[in-house]
Structure 1
């Protein structure tokens, strides 16, 4: 990729940097909610710059041009996509860009590691099919430039997915369950070994499981129920040996990560802890644009590798590669899960949604526990629902003069809570 930007693209680069600066300022401002109108305005400006790039590169000699403009454009789209998620436009074409970028990284790492099963592939396949439907649905309403950009990213992901599926097809279906079990055991061992401190007793369970799997083989082969030797023996035996080697390494302990890689390890471990925490609290604390910093930091670390490994200053390959790659892939997977779990509700309405979800959960629990013991039990729920209902103006939840995304979901949730209250009261009256 060229570091030199042609004169006719320099103005575009400046404009893209300006858009990114404005988006970053909005992202960092926690004093107010992100407004859909602000995002839409900057998005229209971005589309305008993409059109200019496409017009310049219509020249056949420039079709493969790649320079800093493309890097900044990708960066801006990544951030813009997260803003679409933040304002609740989760099922719009631009919102899929961040997911596609993360899916590609996940697929790249699965292909590189060669440690995966159909359990890993299937959710990604379903997510790509969902994204494809969103893109094709928005063909009429969305700008052609954006649709084409997303289709190109989608095609790359589909190609990688097909390669992984082809590799899995070489393993007999009769060995699928055993493959999934070995992949799961390896990940559990890596999860324990990647901790700054762990007890050897944590590994004992997996050591016993591996011994049982090894003893189930006949003459070193995994047999089918009818006694045949299915295809895929080398893959499973290689995975079994890898698990044993990992256990031996971790049991030997010592310094599993070389000093030259310690800084990278600490960054990845800290990031994993933060993302794990977000998985628990994202409904209350996550603004999807927060993921932008994690994605950038991860990609920067990922791009430090040379031919798939981290090198020291002398160009040597220090120990600790497997642990670093496990943490890198784990962090990508956590970001992906956070993106997928994003609700089609603007962050401005998330506090109301969280309150309604809590009321609904409590009412369902009361219903499950044989209903009301007293009519008074229902009063706090009814009062809370009434206060939320009074927030609506002409049936809509307003923030200032704006009508944020997610009205349908909140209204449906409010109606369900009222229905649950009514059902509980009817059941109580009938019993009484």
Structure 2
């Protein structure tokens, strides 16, 4: 799998993944048979760690070749979701709006697993479903913790969660912006001033449930804000190397968010996942420690960067298109032509037929790439044919509509 991932001289093909996948299924089947022993059902050892690494890379490979709606492709998302939920629980700063996208994604994955249950290997489905069940249990725990908060206080809870993230975001930058911190401090004081005898009130003047949650979060915001305001250094020297690594990864992932349609090979995310998991596992009792076992200054910054990286990876995984990387250049061209045609239509249409020629020529050249209605790469038929053909047809339809509108306007 690593050799295939590193080979940039050719596109990753479904046939390459399939042969490795069959080998992996055989190994998973052996593990499941061994674990049928009641005394070994809950055992977790080095074999499980390696299996998780291998399946993550395989899952990313499925995404790379465009098989995004298959059960194996969901494993990478589940691994990232699990880490995100763990960090949300640890931070105690989240709202229902943070949990809803995750809940929706787990629902999508459940549908994919149920749909593939008959066609996929029973042993693979068992492995993926176990991962999904773990994520679902974590999500339900977080949802339950918010059930004590009255609906009247949910907007305020969301506001405090947002402010806390903004505080840590400002504090994590190499150069501290005191002005931005002061503005956030003013927001906190304004929220605090709305309390009556230490309670946040409903519009009807009653005291709704969830006061402890909001007051605790408000206090946490003040604590983090004061830490950043009072300190000139972001992190202690002993944690500086970790800070630099996480900041670099965050910047790289944010750059990939902007260019992923053109440059991302989903298997590239594997290295980021491995580095982040290694850094995450270095924590002791939830904190990064130095050689003496102490937790130096800078914990909030490092945890923010770590969680931000996980969130970026999750967004990249979710945004993966059901198109093989071999066809991504064609899809990007069609998407660009479509956007241009939509913009021409939005701006009032064509002023002359000549304006349509470049788009028609480009679409004709792409159409001529097809063999019997399929986009071929060598002798292979990569995933994503339906989406590309639909996109090509939509572009032709837009050209026709623009021409008709122009003719009608002339008449």
TM-score with structure 2 setting the length: 0.98
The correspondence for 2:225, drawn from 247, 265, 271, is 247
1:70 partnered with 2:48: yes
Distance 2:8 2:331 in 1: 19
How far apart are residue 256 of structure 1 and its match? 2.6
Gaps of 5+ in 1: 1-22
Distance 2:43 2:226 in 1: 49
How far apart are residue 66 of structure 1 and its match? 3.1
Gaps of 5+ in 2: none
Residues matched between the structures, number: 410
Distance 1:116 1:62 in 2: 36
How far apart are residue 343 of structure 1 and its match? 0.3
Residues 180-206 of structure 1 deviation map (CA, whole Å, 9 limit, x = unaligned): 011001101111100111321222332
Mapping of 1:185-264 within 5 angstroms? 185-264=163-242
Q: Which residue of 2 aligns with 1:34?
A: 12
Q: Alpha carbon RMSD of aligned pairs, Å?
A: 1.0
Mapping of 1:308-387 within 5 angstroms? 308-387=286-365
Residues 222-275 of structure 1 deviation map (CA, whole Å, 9 limit, x = unaligned): 110000111111211121122222222222231131111111111111110001
Distance 1:203 1:389 in 2: 55
How far apart are residue 386 of structure 1 and its match? 0.3
TM-score with structure 1 setting the length: 0.93
How far apart are residue 59 of structure 1 and its match? 3.1
1:121 partnered with 2:99: yes
Distance 1:65 1:236 in 2: 39
The correspondence for 2:258, drawn from 276, 280, 288, is 280
1:95 partnered with 2:102: no
Distance 1:193 1:81 in 2: 35
How far apart are residue 323 of structure 1 and its match? 0.9
Distance 2:303 2:177 in 1: 22
Q: 1:163 to 1:61 in 2, by over 3 A?
A: closer
Residues 295-339 of structure 1 deviation map (CA, whole Å, 9 limit, x = unaligned): 000000000011111111011111111111111111111100000
How far apart are residue 209 of structure 1 and its match? 1.6
Distance 1:157 1:59 in 2: 25
